[in-house]
Amino acid sequence: MDRRDFLVASATGMASALAGIGTVRAADALSLSPTNAPWRTFEVVTEVEIWPQDLPAKLWLPLPLYRDTEFQRTLDIAWAGNATTMGVYREPTYGSPAFFAEWSDRAVAPKLRVMKRIATRNRSVDLSGSGSGQVVDREELELYLRPTAHIPTDGIVRTTAQRILPMASATPLDRARAIYEWIVENTYRDPKVIGCGTGDIRFMLESGNLGGKCADLNSLFVGLARSVGIPARDLYGVRVADSATWKSLGKSGDITKAQHCRAEFWDERFGWIPVDPADVRKVVLEEEPNRLLPLDDPRVRLARQKLFGGWEMNWIAFNTAGDTRLSPSTTKPLGHFMYPYAEGAKGPVDYYDPQNFQYRMTAREIKI
């Protein structure tokens, strides 16, 4: 089965009392740009349990990007569980894939295991040349210029961006770099923020509190860029391996709490350009225990340089979905979709502090 086919909304009914097992072998969907970076393959397993007294229950698990890119390919997806219904769906606005399961039989103890194999390779865009020109669907660019509930593009967001930007004649690349550098200089990583943060950038700017985590700081980059006409988007995902350079920017083994949001912006010469100012601030705070690193520390300078135009792919991308309902429709829109999300008999379950809903994610590198 071709992955383009199976990612279109579909579900497989299972006998409620029996374990259901499924598997998909994904074909390469797109031709890939040549690069010297070697491919690495990771196996990521998510295991979920839901208490029987919380039934009926529904579960959505984020899956890797539905299209292959020059930096990530989905190789396999397999699952086993005892849900009444299981299948892979794609959210209509952003095309975000999710594994959906639903339990209705109170006689079973709901369990699910989903395995994904993903190949990644380090990503770097050479911004020193003139670029070769890029072609993209204009509707895609327009999608990533739109405001959302958490990422508005008017008011204080636009006035802040206009204050940051260099002269009006500057190229989009120079304007995006100015926003990136402003975030590195003016924000900070706040360890007290739960999870990856909410990404409510208007609140950040109006309150003057520019602390947060990845979904806050990188969403701030996205919103500021969109407000001045630069298409930009968050990519929500999870770390799957240790970093080759910074000990604070990797996680292997148990990755249950290793979710991480990155960002991209569009340039007509170079295409989608990866950035991650939030990880620069993470290096400042966490690279050395009990000490903040100054911005002129060599480790911070290296991160600042590399994370404008490049990503170390010890991380996998799930989707770009922000402020949207999944498919089948969730009872509320999600600000982001990088954690397992469940709804039980009493409504949505808090994935930051699950009570009747437990999950564990693990990752390991494999040779194939």
Give me 325's structure tokens.
């309902």
Structural domain count, the chain: 2
How far apart, in whole angstroms, are the C-alpha atoms of residue 57 and residue 104? Answer: 7
Give me 303's structure tokens.
């991160």
Percentage of the chain modeled with pLDDT above 90: 77
Find the distance separating the first CA and the last CA of the chain, reported in whole Å: 21
Tally of CB atoms within 10 A around 133: 9
Q: What mean pLDDT is predicted for residues 328-339?
A: 95
How big is the chain by its Cα radius of gyration, in Å? 20
With beta carbons less than 8 A apart as the criterion, state whether 81 and 12 touch.
no
pTM to 2 decimals? 0.90
Q: Is pLDDT larger for residue 25 or for residue 273?
A: 273
Range of the domain at 252: 123-312
**CATH code of the domain covering residue 104:** 2.60.40.2250
Same structural domain, 105 and 133: no
How far apart, in whole angstroms, are the C-alpha atoms of residue 145 and residue 162? Answer: 16
Same structural domain, 300 and 165: yes
Same structural domain, 38 and 87: yes
Q: How confident is the model at residue 22 (pLDDT cuts 50, 70, 90)?
A: low
144-158, 211-225, 235-249, 341-355: least confident range: 341-355
Tally of CB atoms within 10 A around 258: 18
Residue 175 has pLDDT above 90, yes or no: yes
Q: What mean pLDDT is predicted for residues 131-144?
A: 85
Q: What mean pLDDT is predicted for residues 265-292?
A: 96
Same structural domain, 295 and 327: no
Same structural domain, 224 and 256: yes
How far apart, in whole angstroms, are the C-alpha atoms of residue 213 and residue 194? Answer: 9
Tens of pLDDT, residues 297-318:
999 999 999 999 999 999 999 9
Tens of pLDDT, residues 59-87:
999 999 989 999 999 999 999 999 999 99
Same structural domain, 25 and 153: no
Q: What mean pLDDT is predicted for residues 34-55?
A: 87
**In this predicted structure, what is the pLDDT of residue 223?**
98
**CATH code of the domain covering residue 231:** 3.10.620.30
Which of 299, 338, 341, 303 shows the shortest CA–CA distance to 322? 338
Same structural domain, 306 and 358: no
Same structural domain, 178 and 286: yes
Same structural domain, 61 and 162: no
Same structural domain, 327 and 260: no
Residue 277, preceding bond cis, omega within 30 degrees?
no
Q: What mean pLDDT is predicted for residues 257-280?
A: 96
**Diameter of the chain measured on Cα atoms:** 67
312, 330, 353 - which closes a domain: 312
Same structural domain, 279 and 131: yes
312, 336, 354 - which closes a domain: 312
Which residue type, as a one-letter code, is found at position 323? D
Same structural domain, 351 and 264: no
User: Please, what sign has the CA dihedral across residues 345, 257, 218, 290?
Assistant: positive
Q: How confident is the model at residue 356 (pLDDT cuts 50, 70, 90)?
A: low
How far apart, in whole angstroms, are the C-alpha atoms of residue 168 and residue 170? Answer: 5
With beta carbons less than 8 A apart as the criterion, state whether 282 and 189 touch.
yes
